[in-house]
A and B are shown apart, each in its own frame.
Chain A
Amino acid sequence: MSATASYKQGSAAGRWFREHLVLILGIAVLIYTFVPIFVVVLMSFNDPSSRLIYRFDGFTLHNWLNPCEPEGMCGSLWTSIRIGFLATLGSTILGTLMAFALVRHQFAGRSAMNLLIFLPMASPEIVMGSSLLALFVAAGVGGQLGFWTILIAHIMFCLSFVVVTVRARLAGLDDNLEQAAMDLYATPRQTFWRITFPLVFPGILGAALLSFSLSFDDFIVTNLNAGNTTTFPMYVWGVSQRGVPMQVNVVGTVMFLISVVIVVGGEVTSRRRAAKLT
């Protein structure tokens, strides 16, 4: 009797566990991913007793009210934002043009090009960074490493991601749409701006956002080609050896909030669009 009862009990608990396994694992993964972010947000309100001990000592708004207090931090942040913006612009324009060429035109070496475009994504950053440095030195600009060499490096590694993203969007586009536009008296230019571009635009926008975060985030390639210029990740790396100022957490929190706003905003728009469709 008791054996049966305990068997039933075990089975009920087991069944509950089996049914909720995916949920439990999901929550565990979410906690695992969000704990570091939570720590960053928490530490942005920290009033530290010592620069050397990374510990929550007391609540303050000081860091938020004086974000540029640590020397050089806001300068490096501004450098990163400028580089990120220009790298996004450059790689998105070049990459979009390349994606159009690869999808729409037959030319010698097209399939080789399709393969080569994947290489920067697959190769380790340290390899890319050091070979770029060797290239800059060989080209005689080894003495002028800085803003522009970082920008060139960032455009280079963002390019592949833009090409791949835009190409996927473009390949999914029905050729008949452009033919239909031409059939309806649209010149090639009108066809591009009224049909092709609006339909490919979500892919281009996605590629641009991806480029900015790749550029803003990059440390290894940047560090090798930066000369005396300091980007935000390089600043954080530098100060972490002497104790990280709490304002770094403010910047981290703001970046996180911006990403959340973009993602939520995108989701809301697409849901609203989907709701309108039904």
Chain B
Amino acid sequence: MSQVVEQEPTATDSEGYDGLRLRQVTKSFGSFHAVSSLDLDVPRGSFIALLGPSGCGKTTTLRMVAGLETPTSGSITLAGQDITYAKPYQRPVNTVFQSYALFPHLDIFENVAFGLRRRKRKDVDTAVREMLDLVELDSQARKKPAQLSGGQQQRVALARALINKPEVLLLDEPLGALDLKLRRSMQLEIKRIQTEVGLTFVHVTHDQEEAMTMADTVAVMNAGVIEQMGAPADLYENPQSTFVANFLGQSNLIEGTIQSRAADVVTVDMHGIGVSIPTERCHADGDKGWVGIRPEKVLIGEPGEALDAPGNTIPGGVVTDVSFVGVSTQYLVRMPWGQELGVFEQNTGRRRMFATGEQVELSWRPEYAFLLDFSQDASAGAQKADAE
């Protein structure tokens, strides 16, 4: 079920692996499997995002790494050490909680110093001052958490975890409570700090833009398993399941019958129109599949107009909806087989807008399309509007 292709599960060499490694980790609450046989490798120094809708198991996974939940089965190793059953205070892992969980009765300085004091570190004063400097809160050291704004509290939570120089820093939707503008600036801020300190970050979020902006690797989770994992651009351009195609951005998924499979290209009959898809973008078994194309990759034009997309021109579309968004115009086009496809056209100013009811032709470059397995639900992951 798990479609992890980036790494093969090899339990034997975990001792030599210096990053965070989860092997066959399962967490069940009664008969409900929050996480099922999860395999995940997080190389040292990387920034990985676990992305998925609420209830997909991403927070449970994070809590198991923190030691706040115990896996039902499987193992977690960190820098070669088995930490599956270690207590939270025994593992070199720190967490930035969604609610920040700052200690209300301690001032900012003591909140940040907490971890160092528990481990009886020397030079707490210098370390705390440096850390507060890093998050630009040195002037607030003697204030109580309630006196700070949401964004400042967020930075204290980050400083309090970072000061311990953990092997892995876990971020549990740390920006969820901030407004959009502050969230964007904090995303860049956290990314900057990660680059500066060079620690391993594991970030849990349901916000696909946040995941793609911040992380070098995104793991899309759904129903307790990792659907696909890779660099943000790879995931976006070449999704391997309908869930990833719909959850990460939007996709048009069109039913097609596979005609032939050559070494480098697969030919698909899509409602009477032949389209070809590069083999490395083809993730369908059997003789049917979903032809996927991102709305911004679809070109729209008048019938007979020459479009910059050799090969696949699909005639007979009728514009049913036009939304002008400013940077782009978003069209819905009803195709001869009854399906409505989304088309985003960049507002370059060089082309005219189409009106509702106009006859149009659609076209796209074959190398942008992808082919997904027909057994998957074409609407999986598409309800991301609720998750926001």
A181 to B161, CA, bound (A): 11
Select which of A183, A195, A277 is within 8 A of B94 by beta carbon.
A183
Give the residues in chain A near B67, CB-CB below 8 Å.
Answer: 182-183
Decide: A176 and B101 in contact? CB cutoff 8 A.
Answer: yes
Decide: A184 and B118 in contact? CB cutoff 8 A.
Answer: yes
Decide: B87 and A177 in contact? CB cutoff 8 A.
Answer: no
A202 to B95, CA, bound (A): 28
Give the residues in chain A near B109, CB-CB below 8 Å.
Answer: none
Q: Does A41 contact B (CB under 8 A)?
A: no
Instruction: Mark contacts of A17-56 with chain B using CB atoms, 8 A cut-off: 1 yes-contact digit, 0 otherwise.
Output: 0000000000000000000000000000000000000000
Nearest-neighbour CB distance to chain B for A113, whole angstroms, equals: 24
Write the chain B residue with the least CB distance to A198: B105
Decide: A179 and B89 in contact? CB cutoff 8 A.
Answer: no
Write the chain B residue with the least CB distance to A273: B144
Q: Does A107 contact B (CB under 8 A)?
A: no
Decide: B105 and A199 in contact? CB cutoff 8 A.
Answer: yes
Decide: B118 and A186 in contact? CB cutoff 8 A.
Answer: yes
Give chain A interface residues in 192-210, CB to chain B under 8 Å.
Answer: 195, 198-199
Give the residues in chain A near B147, CB-CB below 8 Å.
Answer: 277-278
A184 to B115, CA, bound (A): 5
Give the residues in chain B near A187, CB-CB below 8 Å.
Answer: 89
Given known A179-B68, A182-B87, A185-B119, contact A277–B103 (CB-CB < 8 A):
no
Given known A184-B114, A277-B146, A277-B147, contact A176–B89 (CB-CB < 8 A):
no
Write the chain A residue with the least CB distance to B160: A184
Decide: A179 and B103 in contact? CB cutoff 8 A.
Answer: no
Decide: A182 and B89 in contact? CB cutoff 8 A.
Answer: yes
A176 to B160, CA, bound (A): 14
Instruction: Give the B interface residue count (CB, 8 A).
Output: 26
Decide: A180 and B89 in contact? CB cutoff 8 A.
Answer: no
Give chain B interface residues in 120-171, CB to chain A under 8 Å.
Answer: 144, 146-147, 160-161, 164
Decide: B101 and A190 in contact? CB cutoff 8 A.
Answer: no
Give chain A interface residues in 166-190, CB to chain B under 8 Å.
Answer: 174, 176-177, 179-187, 190
Which of A174, A182, A183 neighbours the largest number of chain B CB atoms within 10 Å of its CB? A183
Write the chain A residue with the least CB distance to B121: A185
Select which of B94, B104, B105 is within 8 A of A184 by beta carbon.
B94
Nearest-neighbour CB distance to chain A for B341, whole angstroms, equals: 45
A186 to B95, CA, bound (A): 14
Select which of B87, B103, B104 is within 8 A of A181 by beta carbon.
B103
Q: Does B88 contact A (CB under 8 A)?
A: yes
Select which of A177, A185, A199 is within 8 A of B115 by beta carbon.
A185
Which of B104, B105, B114 neighbours the largest number of chain A CB atoms within 10 Å of its CB? B114
Interface of A is mostly: helix
Q: Does B250 contact A (CB under 8 A)?
A: no
Give the residues in chain A near B114, CB-CB below 8 Å.
Answer: 181, 184, 186
Nearest-neighbour CB distance to chain A for B22, whole angstroms, equals: 18
Give the residues in chain B near A177, CB-CB below 8 Å.
Answer: 101, 103-104
Give the residues in chain B near A277, CB-CB below 8 Å.
Answer: 144, 146-147
Select which of B88, B97, B115 is within 8 A of A176 by beta carbon.
B97
Nearest-neighbour CB distance to chain A for B80, whole angstroms, equals: 21
A174 to B98, CA, bound (A): 12
A176 to B97, CA, bound (A): 8
A183 to B118, CA, bound (A): 11
Q: Does B66 contact A (CB under 8 A)?
A: yes
Give the residues in chain A near B81, CB-CB below 8 Å.
Answer: none
Instruction: Mark contacts of A115-155 with chain B using CB atoms, 8 A cut-off: 1 yes-contact digit, 0 otherwise.
Output: 00000000000000000000000000000000000000000
A186 to B161, CA, bound (A): 13
Write the chain A residue with the least CB distance to B104: A199
Give the residues in chain A near B257, CB-CB below 8 Å.
Answer: none
Give the residues in chain B near A180, CB-CB below 8 Å.
Answer: 95, 97, 101-103
Q: Does B320 contact A (CB under 8 A)?
A: no
Give the residues in chain A near B119, CB-CB below 8 Å.
Answer: 185
A190 to B117, CA, bound (A): 11
A187 to B90, CA, bound (A): 9
Q: Does B328 contact A (CB under 8 A)?
A: no
A278 to B67, CA, bound (A): 37
Give the residues in chain B near A190, CB-CB below 8 Å.
Answer: 118
Write the chain A residue with the least CB distance to B90: A185
A198 to B103, CA, bound (A): 10
Give the residues in chain A near B103, CB-CB below 8 Å.
Answer: 177, 180-181, 195
A186 to B104, CA, bound (A): 17
A132 to B67, CA, bound (A): 49
Q: Does B99 contact A (CB under 8 A)?
A: yes
Nearest-neighbour CB distance to chain A for B379, whole angstroms, equals: 35
Given known A184-B94, A277-B146, A277-B147, contact A179–B99 (CB-CB < 8 A):
no
A51 to B287, CA, bound (A): 111
Select which of A174, A183, A198, A278 is within 8 A of B95 by beta carbon.
A183
Write the chain A residue with the least CB distance to B115: A184
Decide: B118 and A179 in contact? CB cutoff 8 A.
Answer: no
Nearest-neighbour CB distance to chain A for B288, whole angstroms, equals: 48
Given known A277-B146, A277-B147, contact A179–B105 (CB-CB < 8 A):
no
Instruction: Mark contacts of A258-278 with chain B using CB atoms, 8 A cut-off: 1 yes-contact digit, 0 otherwise.
Output: 000000000000000000011
Given known A184-B118, A185-B118, contact A176–B99 (CB-CB < 8 A):
yes
Nearest-neighbour CB distance to chain B for A174, whole angstroms, equals: 6
Instruction: Mark contacts of A91-122 with chain B using CB atoms, 8 A cut-off: 1 yes-contact digit, 0 otherwise.
Output: 00000000000000000000000000000000
Give chain B interface residues in 73-121, CB to chain A under 8 Å.
Answer: 87-89, 93-95, 97, 99, 101-105, 114-115, 118-119
Other contacts beyond A181-B103, A181-B114: 13, CB < 8 A: A176-B101, A177-B104, A179-B68, A179-B97, A179-B101, A180-B101, A180-B103, A183-B95, A184-B114, A184-B115, A185-B89, A185-B164, A186-B114
Q: Can you give 10 contacting A-B residue pairs, CB < 8 Å?
A: A174-B99, A176-B101, A180-B101, A181-B103, A182-B88, A183-B66, A184-B160, A184-B161, A185-B119, A186-B89
Sorted nearest first, the 6 A-B pairs with minimum C-beta distance are: A176-B101, A180-B101, A184-B115, A185-B118, A182-B88, A185-B89
Residues of A within 8 A of B (CB): 174, 176-177, 179-187, 190, 195, 198-199, 277-278
